[in-house]
Every structure is written in structure tokens, then in C-alpha cells.
Amino acid sequence: MDGDHRQEHNGMTTAATPQPFSLADAIRRAAIVALALGTASIHAGLGGLLFTLNAVGYVVGATAMIAPLAIASRFRWVIRIGLAGYAATTIAAWAVQGPFYSTAYLAKAIELTLIALLVVDFVRFDGSPPAMIRRAMRGILTVG
């Protein structure tokens, strides 16, 4: 799985040396996958095209979080942001149109927990969002 790719350089955090993937990292990653699959199951059980597609999106995100492919590992930060954004969009859409019943509240609690764990995973492996943006901008500026 992913290693942590952060290293201090002149007081700045940069991508470099992988850290070992710890037991806590594995448990957090398993929880992320379980939560994504849990909300996928809820949405799949509701029927209808929109709920089914929502469920498929969560299954794809969960799979991408653990895919043992080099490209998935390299771009796991994009997957984390995408899955968190997907969950946030699902919550926002529900807030606008409902339905407001107990299973929906359970799904939203799962999605909020999923977002929180994705944020922790992002910070653990990619550093703070501002540091990640600075690294991306440096990469873009040094390419040309």
C-alpha cells in the first residue's frame, strides 16, 4: 500500500522518502473502504438509477483506495480528494432534496465519518492541503 511521501527540506515539506505503512494506516484504510461500501449498500438498496449510480461511485472509490496498482498508489491523493468530494456532494444533494428518514441520516453519518477519515489519510500521506498545493505548483512551474 501507500507509504508516506513527505520529507523536510529547508523547512518545507516535500514529496520524497516513503514512511512505512503502519497498522493504524491499514485499519484506517480498511475503515474508509468499509464506510464507502456501507453507504454504497444503503444507496443500492434504495433502487432507482440515481441511487444505483451513487452506489457504483462509492464502490469504485473504495476499490481505488486499495487497488495495488502503481498508478493508483501514486495518485491516491486524487482518489482521497475525489472520494471525499463525492461524499460531500451526496450529502449536499440530500440536504437539498431529501428524503429525510432514519436510513438517510445513517448514510449521512457514514459519509461524514468517511470524509473525516479521508482527511486524516490525506494529511498522513500527503501533508497539509496547502503544502500539497505548493508542491503541485512547484512541479508545474519547474516543468516548463
> What is the C-alpha separation between 41 and 37, in angstroms, rounded?
6
Whether 76 is covered by a domain: the verdict is yes
Domain that holds residue 114: 22-143
Instruction: Report residue 120 as a C-alpha cell.
Output: 486524516
Which pLDDT value is given to residue 3?
53
Whether 123 is covered by a domain: the verdict is yes
Whether 4 is covered by a domain: the verdict is no
> Where does the chain show beta strands of DSSP type E?
4-9, 12-19
Whether 82 is covered by a domain: the verdict is yes
Which pLDDT value is given to residue 95?
95
Whether 15 is covered by a domain: the verdict is no
Cβ atoms of 109 and 42 closer than 8 Å: no
Cβ atoms of 82 and 97 closer than 8 Å: no
Q: What phi and psi, each to the nearest 5 degrees, are found at residue 55?
A: -60, -45
Say how many CA atoms lie within 13 Å of 90 toward its Cβ. Answer: 30
Instruction: Report residue 118 as a C-alpha cell.
Output: 479521508
Whether 106 is covered by a domain: the verdict is yes
Q: For 101, which DSSP code?
A: S
> What is the C-alpha separation between 42 and 108, in angstroms, rounded?
11
Whether 49 is covered by a domain: the verdict is yes
Domain tally, the chain? 1
Whether 13 is covered by a domain: the verdict is no
| pTM of the entire predicted model | 0.80
The one-digit pLDDT tens for each residue of the chain (144 residues) are: 455 444 433 344 444 455 688 999 999 999 999 999 999 999 999 989 999 999 999 999 999 999 999 988 888 989 999 999 999 999 999 999 988 999 999 999 999 999 999 999 999 988 887 877 787 788 788 765
